[in-house]
Amino acid sequence: MLRTDLDHSMQAREGSPAVRWRVSDGLVGYEDAVAEMELQVGLIADGKADELVWLVEHPPLYTAGTSADAKDLIEPERFPVFATGRGGEYTYHGPGQRVAYVMLDLKRRRQDVRAYVAALEEVVIRTLGSMNVKGERREDRVGVWVRRPEKPTLPDGTMSEDKIAALGIRLRRWVSFHGLSINVDPDLGHFTGIVPCGISAYGVTSLVDLGLPVMMADVDMRLREAFEDVFGPTTPDC
């Protein structure tokens, strides 16, 4: 079954507490973020904390997922590079990009990894749709893509496409961590130091690049609404 055809609802079972929703100001160091995720995932798995979505921005950096190929790191000295346990290949994080670390207990939802990935894509697609941007899945590549008819066609004659959101997840004891990133207004030139997600045939875009001068806070609001549609209620994490 295609990811498009999966049931994208991942609501928690009845009686589950709302998901904590945390937004950090400023830039969060990557190692600090990973340490916090490790802590929170352990607490959630042990039943000592409720689920959490944590929104951050990072300073410029590259991360290497478990499938990363060294040849895809074109400029290894440009920014710090972090090996990470999430799935996927190389990606870039930096200012102007909203990173959502999603720590959910799939035992309370559905223990189905493909459905979970499709649900995260659905959150991004709904977020973009609320701003009149059509994001789409591609079965042969994880993430969310937008068509660019104004750009030259690809060598095979198909329409150009750019990636606007990346996904990379990991599970421990059926609790998820890592998550997704949406390009709001990052420096797109920073992606040239890697082959993003190992895919060289397509470009990278952002909401601002598409002509939407949106603020991060507006994207956050829309992201939260889309998350609640797919995964259920949230509550501020004070």
Residues annotated as catalytic are: 197
- How far apart are the C-alpha atoms of 181 and 3, rounded to whole Å? 19
Residue 53 to residues 37, 47, 71, 123, Cα–Cα distance (Å): 10, 16, 33, 13
Strands 175-183 and 97-103: antiparallel
- How far apart are the C-alpha atoms of 38 and 35, rounded to whole Å? 5
Q: With H, G, I as helix, E, B as strand and everything else as coil, classify residue 148.
A: coil
The amino acid present at 142, given as its one-letter code, is V
Tokens (6 digits) for 224: 């939260």
Residue 182 to residues 74, 75, 165, 198, Cα–Cα distance (Å): 22, 23, 4, 18
